[in-house]
Amino acid sequence: MTGLRGMTWDHPRAYLPLQAFAERLAAPRITWDRQSLADFEARPLETLAPSYDFLVVDHPGLGHAIATGALLPWDKVFTGDELAAWAAASVGPTWASYTLDDQQWALPIDAATQVGVRAADLATPLPTAWTDVPDASREIATTLCLGGPHAFLMLLAMCADDDRRSPDLLDPQVAEQALDLLTWLWRTVDRTTSLGDPITVHEAIAAGAADWCPLAYGYASYAAGRTGARPLAWAGAPSFATDRPGSVLGGTGLALSAHRDTDLDDVRRWVTAFLADDVQTDLVPSTSGQPAHRGAWDSPEVDRDWGGYYSATRRSVDTAWVRPRYDGWVALQDEASELVREVVDGRARAAAVVTEINERFRSA
């Protein structure tokens, strides 16, 4: 069969491994299209499912995708033993982030979480706690990452309530302290870069427009540097009000459309070949990918090739907070990000915004 189509997102980390894998001719061919990072984060999957067999997805959108019937669970395609083997090979909570209602709606193919990003040649020691970030920002050209949903994701990394028995998403006292700190930083950082997404942040630091961002989703491919650009390095996410890194899981998963007359035998062959250990631990990282396979994260060679990214950020991945995935979460995430930007820009009060976010979460 030659008619398989897929949609991924438009960054070399996403599409270069797929291109390299296609050259092996070891599996059915797929025609891959790309969408922007912003569309990837926000575009409802039911708008793509009629046109694509494979969808590279973000786990927070699963609830809506399931509610609209956009996806076919992988339990309909693979055996429990096959899925269990891939689960065991997945790093951190990546596998669990795509499990809902005892079914596996996507297979993790990319692992990412929020970490510290800096120029590789920056010699100044960087803080491991948010409370020390203001002092460091006086000496280092600093940027935040507040564009799109990332303002709220930064707040969540600092203070999301790990006690899922609580009706609130945010601990009011901790969240207000976090917003006060971000508001102070907003007065000192480069605002143009700070209103961008993680790609904007990495590009800006590589270009010398800033030297450091205390928290943004990491892109290991920037370790190599490019002509005229600085290589980057990373550190674990800083802690806030706890002794562990504060980070919200990102990454991507491979989902299957429920709207297509797809040859499931071809799907099985392609997925089995692509998720093979050698592909995930060799081909994917060597072509700028960032696999979710534990073998890649455990590999000293992969870590060395990408500037120590994997060892520097491993604990942040392993302890990352997994967002709720109910139908409506993505809308709340976008609305809450705008509220966070209003606080740091002086247009709203922290206490009122925290109350509003918690009320919206409780009523969702």
pLDDT 10s digits, 228-245: 899 999 999 999 988 889
Which domains are present in the chain? 4-112+249-318 (3.40.190.10), 114-248+328-363 (3.40.190.10)
CB atoms closer than 10 angstroms to residue 128: 15
Residue 127 phi, psi dihedral angles, 5° rounding: -70, 150
pLDDT band at 1 (very low <50, low <70, confident <90, very high): very low
The whole-number average pLDDT for the span 262-291 is 96
pLDDT at 164 over 70: no
pTM score: 0.95
Handedness of CA 235, 239, 243, 244 (dihedral sign): negative
Tokens 């508001």 identify what position? 183
The whole-number average pLDDT for the span 200-225 is 96
pLDDT at 208 over 60: yes
Closest CA to 284 of 66, 10, 24: 24
The whole-number average pLDDT for the span 141-167 is 91
* pLDDT of 165: 73
pLDDT band at 274 (very low <50, low <70, confident <90, very high): very high
pLDDT band at 163 (very low <50, low <70, confident <90, very high): low
pLDDT at 256 over 90: yes
Residues of the chain with pLDDT > 70, as a percent, come to: 98
Q: What is the DSSP string of 179-203?
A: HHHHHHHHTTS-HHHHTS-HHHHHH
